[in-house]
Structures are given as C-alpha cells and as structure tokens.
Structure 1
Amino acid sequence: MNARVTDIAQDFHRPRYHFLPPANWMNDPNGLIYWQGYYHLFYQYNPHGPFHGTIHWGHARSADLVHWEHLPIALAPAPGDLDAEGCWSGCAVNADGVPLVFYTGVSPQRQLLATGSPDLLHWRKHPEPLIAAPPPEIDAGPHQDFRDPYVWQAEDAWYMVVGSQDVGRGGVVLLYRSRDLLHWDYLHPLLRTADVREFPIWAGSMWECPNFFTLEGASVLLLSAWDQQQTYYPVAFSGEYAEERFTPRRQFRVDWGDCFYAPQVMRDGQGRALMWGWLWERRTREAQLAAGWAGVMSLPRVLSWTPEGVLSQRPVPELSQLRRASQSWEARDLAGAADALATVHGAELELQVTFDPLSAPEIGLDVCVSPDGAEFTRMAYDATRSLFSVNTTHASLSAAAWGEVLTAPFTPRPGEPVQLHIFVDHSVIEVFVDATLCFAVRAYPTRPDSLGVRPFARGGRPHFTSLTAWKLASIE
C-alpha cells in the first residue's frame, strides 16, 4: 500500500464499515450478482482520481455481505472500443451458467455486452452494440440520454429496460425483448412521466438506472430522478405487470436523505431482494480532491412489504457480526436518557432507540455531538407537523461541507413506539425509521471529539422506551 493510500485510510471522515475502494472516485452500484457462493459488487469507478471521468467497472466480492475483497477492474474503456469514453452503469445475469454483464458504453450512449470467465475476473466484450440508439420516436435530447440496462428472464424470453427521456414529455423507461440475449426488439415504453403525473413525488425529466423486479407478488419499477444535469433521488412504483404492460398503483420515495442515488436490486441465494445505493459526497470538489476519495456504497438493505403495502427497508442482519461492546437501557425520561447516553461515544456506532411519539411535540436523537454542542446531527419526529426530519445544518463547522434540514411525511403506527435504527460511520449516517422511512446523509465534523450521542426533545414529557448502543468493528 503506497503512502497516499495509507493516508487516505486514516482520514477521519472515511467510513470504516461501509464499502468503498481504497482511493479515488466511486458512484453507482452495478452488476450485482450472487455467484458460486459470493456476492459480487461491481461499481462505477475512476482509477485516476476522486472525480467523475474515464469510468471503469470496479469489482469486489463478499461471502457474508460485510467483509469485502477488492478484485481487479472488470471493465475499462479503451481507444477504439464501443465504450472508449466510459463503461457506464448496467447489470449482470446468470445465463444458464454463463456470467454476462450488460452496460452502457459512451459516447454515444449505447447498450453493450461482456461475457465473464467462470471466476468473474476476466471479461470479453461483444464486438457490436446490442442496442445502438434509442427508438426513433423518442427524442432523448442533445446528449442522447439512453442508459443503464437492467435485464431479467421471464418464461421463454429475456427482457431489458433502459432509462431515457423524451424531450418535452419527461422521463421514460423503454422495454425490450430478446430470445438469445444478443438480438433485441423494442416493444414500447414500460412507463412514462404521463403515466404517473397523479402521484405526489416529483420524478424529474429523465429517468436513470431503472430496475424492474417482483417483490412478494407485486411488480416494482425502481428509477432515479434526473433533471437538467442534476441527480435527485430514487423513486419506486409498485403495481401489476401483465402482457408486457406495467400499471403503477403506488409510489414511494426510496430514501429521504441528500446523498442516496442509483440503487440496484439483486436476488440472493436465500431469495431475498437486496438493495445497495451510491452515497455521494456533500462537500466541495476541492475538499474531495484534497481527501483523495469520493463516494461510498450504502449498507445493503433487505426489501419487503409491510402489512399495509408500504415498502420496507431493513439493514441486512449479517451486519450484527460487527457488533462489539454494547450498552442497553429500558424506559427513561429525557434526563435519564441523557445520563445513559452520556457514556456512549464513537464514530462507528449502531443505535436502536424507541420512543413514545405522543410524549412530546418533538422528540429524537443527536449523534456526532461535540463536547461543546457546536457540532451535531439531529434526527427527530415532529408530532405537530407529522414529519420526521434529519438536520445536518450543524454537522460541521467547515464551510466546505453542506448541510440542510431534510423532512419526510411520517405518521407513527397507532399505539406503538417509534423505532429508530441508526448507523454512524464517520461521515456516513444511515437512519431507518420504523423500517419504512430511510435517510442516508453525510456529516463532516471538524472536531475529532464530535463523537457523542444525546437525546433531544422539545416540550411535553418525553419518554424513551428503550435505548441500545453498540460499537462496531471496522471491515478493513
């Protein structure tokens, strides 16, 4: 390991149990596949620096979803290749024992194929594009936005969705069909902006990184909202799929934080639907260049439905093997909770907190708290407005870090406490609220002692029903 990589590994803001490459730039998860006893994670990677450019496919694998082994680069752009300007996002499939990856090559944006060796360490690119351009009736804009293939098998055919836009009409997901995975016929849009205008969550003018899969009997279309060269957030639609047509019935925002994007879903050997997302930086380009790294992978999440038909996300239970020293307390008022949590400090923590949502107008928890209280990140339920919020405006005293107040509509289950499951990993904080509301945020404290945890409440007689804290081990 060279001196620069060693310095990066010791960076206080660098996560210790989230996956990321040793240095440089990372964005979207790609090609997720469970293969011969390992979870394989490919990802958008620039080996030349902590900035987006010359995109390769990085590669890692894990036997347990927690500890990852870095593997050689899987795909690299090369002069004269169809992907000479970058190997952009895509997926992997097991085609009767043959590993295949489908991805977007640039420029122009076109859908490509590579075949892997049995150990997935070597990849041979197909010499011709599978789909060279969007259908002529789709105006994909001046950059021909047409990318991120996602492939699945149904009965006697293979299907592919590709994200795009139709200028003046909004986002569109295009549906293709193939019998042999080489020759693809365009069918029609699987979904367009016009189909979902009645839903409340805005979804941008171009749709990236589509995933289409079945979750406990319901069909789900997952996409990422993009508009005017700006990435926003992922949105999911659930509904029915029949005769190659999708009818959306419900809409969900997948994550309410300010950095979770381009998620991809895979089915593992246990049949679970697992999802990862890219956590981008929330600090200036200059700060990223100085740090030498940018981008983190989220913790893997297990997807399911609640009895009410709401999308549920939980951290994979395998993460429990990272737990070390723990502390637990039962029912406490605000003062009692403060006394208990005063002994909890760390930049690598897992917290489980439950509270009575009716015991105070506003109640929650602060993490990454400095001894003088100048730096902290707050997560709280506001009963007066039926909102849950994560506030990073005090997370850092540095002008190079960006903070904001992030809110989501939230109504607790009648008669039940609210359950918070929180992961703190240096500059990454992931919050799960009743396993239905998720916030991934970034925080960059300036003080190395911004490690505290404290309860928060405004008014009323706040009641915390249980508190548990674990220190977590590094995966390096």
Structure 2
Amino acid sequence: TSSDAQLVYARSLRQSLASDPHRPAYHFTAPANWLNDPNGLIQWRGQYHLFYQYNPNGAYHGTIHWGHAVSGDLVHWTDMPVALSPTPDGHDAAGCWSGCAVDNMGTPTLLYTGVYPQVVCLATSDDDLVTWRKHPRDPVIDGPPAEIRDACGGHFRDPFVWRSDGKWSMLIGAKVEGSGGLVLLYQSEDLLQWTYVGPVIRGDVASPDPFWTGTMWECPNFLDFGRRQALIISAQATHADLLYPFYASGQFDGARFSTEIQSILVNGVPGYFYAPQVMRADDGRYLMWGWLREGRSERACIDAGWAGAMSLPLEVSMELDGRLCVEPAQELASLRSQHWSFAGRLLADGTDEFLPDVSGDALEIVAQFEALSAGEVGLKLRASPDGREYTRLIVQPTQHQVIIKRDNTSLLGDLDRDLCTAPIPAQGANGTITLRIFLDRSVLEVFVNGGLSSVVARIYPSLPESLGVGLFSRGGSARLKSLDIWSLASIW
C-alpha cells in the first residue's frame, strides 16, 4: 500500500542521515527535510500521537503537511504516514498549518489552519488515526471576526480546542496592526458551528514591560490548574521574526483572562524554542513539546537535508505562587546508560580542567554548585582536547543568570554565536544552583533549579574529538556539591 511505501521511504531517509554528527539522537526529528511546530498532541488508546509541521520537499519552510509519529512510552517513536496534505484548490492549498487534536465522542478530530487566506479546517479519522478525511463543511471558521478583519492583515491561526462545561472552546492567535497580538475565543456545541466570544487577552506593542510581546501572537494554549489557569503564547515580531513563548498565569472567567504573572517560558536566542503545544495525558500531567529551530543558515540546512527538532517531552506544572515549572518527562530516565558520579569538592579560583574518562555528545548531566565567592562557575561541553572547540555553560550567581557562551563552539563559519541567557530563579538552601543539562549533538537544553527557568541553544562542533566535559571557576572559588553524568541511548 502507499502508506507502507511511505514508511519504508521514511526508514531509508532516517538511515541516510543517521551518521550526521549534528543530528540529534534522542530528540524527535522528522525522517528528513523540514520540521517546525508540534501539532495535534493527543493520547489515544494509551498511545501518544505527535503530529508536526513538515515539508516533504526539502529542508526549508514550504508546502506544509502534517507529519505523524506515535509512541507508547514518550521516548521511542515510530513514523506514521503523513496525516494531512494540502488539497489543490482547497482551503489548505498553500499548506496545512498548525492546529490541535481532540476526541469528539470517540472520533479523533483535527482542527487546523488552512492557508491562504488563513481559515480553520477540520478533519476526522477512524480510530487508527492514520487516514484523515477533510470535512465537507470546511472551513469551519472562514477567517477573522469582523471586529478585527481589517486590522489583522489576515493573521488568524493555530486553533487550540478543549471541552469543558459541556461545550467546546477554541483559542486562536491573531494581531491588530499597531496594537499588538491577541488571543481570540470561540465556542461550539459540535466543532462545526462556532460562535465568536471575543478577545481573551491582548498584547500592547508599545510596552516593553516585563518584556516585549511583539506584534503577533501565535500557538495559544490553555492550561487549567484548578485555582489558577495559564495561557502559553508564542510571540512574533515584525516581518514574522520569531521571539519566544511566554506564559500568563492568573484567572480565566470563561471569557476574559486576568494576568497575575507574565514570564518567558523557555529562554534562548529568539526562536530557538518556539510554538510549544501542550496536551493533557491520561494520568493528568500536562505534557509539552516545542520546536527547536536550527542555529545555522538555510543553505547549511538544505545541504544537510534536514532542519528542526522537537524539544524533549516536557512536564508543565504550576507552583503555589502561580509560576510555571517546565521539567523533562520522567520517562526519559529509561535512556540512561553509562553513569559517572563525582564527589563534591572545592573548585579554586582559576580552575579549568577536563573530567577524566568522561566524553560524549549524547549526555544528561545533573550538577549542583554553590557559588561561594566565584564570579563565574560552570561546565565546558563538547570540548576538544586541544582547546580549539568548546561550549561554556556559565553560572553567574551575582547577576542571577545562566549563560550558554558559543564563541568557541565550532570552527565552522555561518553559525549563530549569540549569548543564550536565562534567569536563575530563587536559589535553594545555601544558594545552591542546580542545573539539569541535556546535550544531544547539536541540541543543548538546560533546566535551572527544578525547571523554574530553562534555556535552549544549538551548537555545531566541527571536530569529531570535541566530546570532552570540563569544570571551571573564575573570579573566586565555588563548591561543586554533586555531579552526575549519564550517556543517553538513541531513541531510534
């Protein structure tokens, strides 16, 4: 069958790229070509389904389809046939853009953005989730509401749908020229006929406080923690430059959201972690994936034959004070293999040393530091023995920030080298700073103090021997309280 042929082809594509030293081993990637936003996250009959924005024609954004993969354990994935393809002369002729999946009384249902113009489309499947039929009544929403139609420039996308109080609610991202991003609310009894309720939350393009939220809001998510609710939104700047996902934590009264806390969800160079989507697992956890953009040129991606990776599967929880906490899913511990453990010790001012016998480009590292007098303390990763290549992960206790410094990360040209920084949230006892680091070839995901802050970077070392791990302390002494390192197995 054509779907069998697709899967054989997907397997051959994966095998052809398996030896690429920059291709992640335990982060999900498309078989080849272009991947961006996670879509349609759903747990169906116990299996986790991950759909994603996919261009089968090359490692660049265009002719967007919905790729599809399935997992029984959140860790290992099996490629499935492409779920949605643009229909020539259809409402999605230029692409099947982002959206979500819901269980409509036993019928798996996708609601997604058709382009152009940007409209909401619907597709259903039998319960295998392999073959999808587009609904004859598409589009179920034919464009922005009248009140913003002339002011949004056609920007109206990324439906996120959930059921509560006997009805369906939909959030959708939009903008008002000169005013900022906003999230719109619709409601429905049957997923086909939708009533516009109004804007749930609005941005202010003129306000830099507590950070700038851009000109367009994409990929809205709604999370209900009982006493408080949260929205996760991806902010975009002018000319479609990606910024960052942020969250608003507060109260949702069914029509309007009142914000108590607003914070960046995951830090890094703008766009490095973007367009996250959440799902509610059967066990009640909120699980989230984000799109990890490349840090090299489009030309380099096309030459490599692939672009984009998913973040780790992440668990999103809420602290008592309303802050969101983002941590890697507990299932990832199943990938741990070789283990190195180092006793706590003092790192004198000027320490800069390799850890003996530790090397790898697919590692999990848990490090606890106590700064003492040090201005900077941290780790060197992907370090070559001759010192020509390394990436520094720096803790600056007095500035309350963690930095990924990439000046010496690679001898290759044409790479992003901007600093990636994240705030250090309130420290533990004695000013202890805990870093949980996931290094996966070109991907670096770092979680600070239990996931109250995190930062993502992309690195592309050129030397095959750039596999070392080191420790350093500058501007004073620091205490390494504990250090555990595991090599992680490939998910393929």
For Structure 1 versus Structure 2, the TM-score category normalised by the shorter chain is over 0.9
Q: Which residue is 1:282 aligned to? A: 295
Q: Which residue is 1:175 aligned to? A: 185
Deviation for aligned residue 1:194: 4.0
Picking from 373, 380, 390, the partner of 2:394 is 380
- Aligned residues of 1:357 and 1:412 also touching (Cα < 8 A): no
Q: Tell me the SS of whatever aligns to 2:359.
A: coil
CA shift in 2, pair 1:198/1:290, >3 Å:
closer
Q: Which residue is 1:413 aligned to? A: 428
Taking the aligned partners of 2:437 and 2:141, their CA distance within structure 1 comes to: 43
Q: Tell me the SS of whatever aligns to 2:109.
A: strand
- Aligned residues of 1:239 and 1:246 also touching (Cα < 8 A): yes
Q: Which residue is 1:133 aligned to? A: 143
Q: Which residue is 1:273 aligned to? A: 286
Deviation for aligned residue 1:217: 3.2
Taking the aligned partners of 2:198 and 2:352, their CA distance within structure 1 comes to: 58
Judge which range, 367-376 or 48-57, deviates more: 367-376
Deviation for aligned residue 1:82: 1.2
Paired residue type of 1:155: D
Once the two structures are superposed, the pairs formed by residues 181-196 of structure 1 within 5 Å of their partners are: 181-194=191-204
CA offsets 1:253-289 (integer angstroms, 9 cap, x no match): 1111221000000011110001100001110111101
Length, aligned pairs only: 476
CA offsets 1:380-433 (integer angstroms, 9 cap, x no match): 221232222111222112112111112233242352411110011100011001
Q: Tell me the SS of whatever aligns to 1:82.
A: coil
Taking the aligned partners of 1:358 and 1:416, their CA distance within structure 2 comes to: 9
Judge which range, 352-361 or 1-10, deviates more: 1-10
Deviation for aligned residue 1:141: 5.5
Taking the aligned partners of 2:491 and 2:399, their CA distance within structure 1 comes to: 40
Q: Tell me the SS of whatever aligns to 1:455.
A: strand
Taking the aligned partners of 1:386 and 1:41, their CA distance within structure 2 comes to: 36
Paired residue type of 1:455: L
Q: Which residue is 2:355 aligned to? A: 341
- Aligned residues of 1:365 and 1:455 also touching (Cα < 8 A): yes
Q: Which residue is 2:418 aligned to? A: 404
Q: Which residue is 1:124 aligned to? A: 133
CA offsets 1:173-200 (integer angstroms, 9 cap, x no match): 1110111111001111011114995840
Once the two structures are superposed, the pairs formed by residues 77-476 of structure 1 within 5 Å of their partners are: 77-127=86-136, 128-139=138-149, 143-194=153-204, 197=207, 199-215=209-225, 217-228=227-238, 229-258=240-269, 259-334=272-347, 341-410=355-424, 411-434=426-449, 435-476=451-492
- Aligned residues of 1:369 and 1:376 also touching (Cα < 8 A): yes
Where in structure 2 are there 5+ consecutive unaligned residues?
Answer: 1-7
- Aligned residues of 2:205 and 2:212 also touching (Cα < 8 A): no
Q: Tell me the SS of whatever aligns to 1:445.
A: coil
| Identical-pair percentage | 47
- Aligned residues of 2:337 and 2:486 also touching (Cα < 8 A): yes
Deviation for aligned residue 1:441: 0.9
Q: Tell me the SS of whatever aligns to 1:266.
A: strand
Deviation for aligned residue 1:375: 1.5
CA shift in 2, pair 1:95/1:199, >3 Å:
farther
Q: Which residue is 1:7 aligned to? A: 16
- Aligned residues of 2:157 and 2:219 also touching (Cα < 8 A): yes
- Aligned residues of 1:431 and 1:438 also touching (Cα < 8 A): yes
CA shift in 2, pair 1:335/1:475, >3 Å:
farther
Q: Output the TM-score relative to the length of structure 1.
A: 0.96
Deviation for aligned residue 1:44: 0.2
CA offsets 1:216-265 (integer angstroms, 9 cap, x no match): 53211111011122111101000001142211110111111221000000
CA shift in 2, pair 1:351/1:46, >3 Å:
same
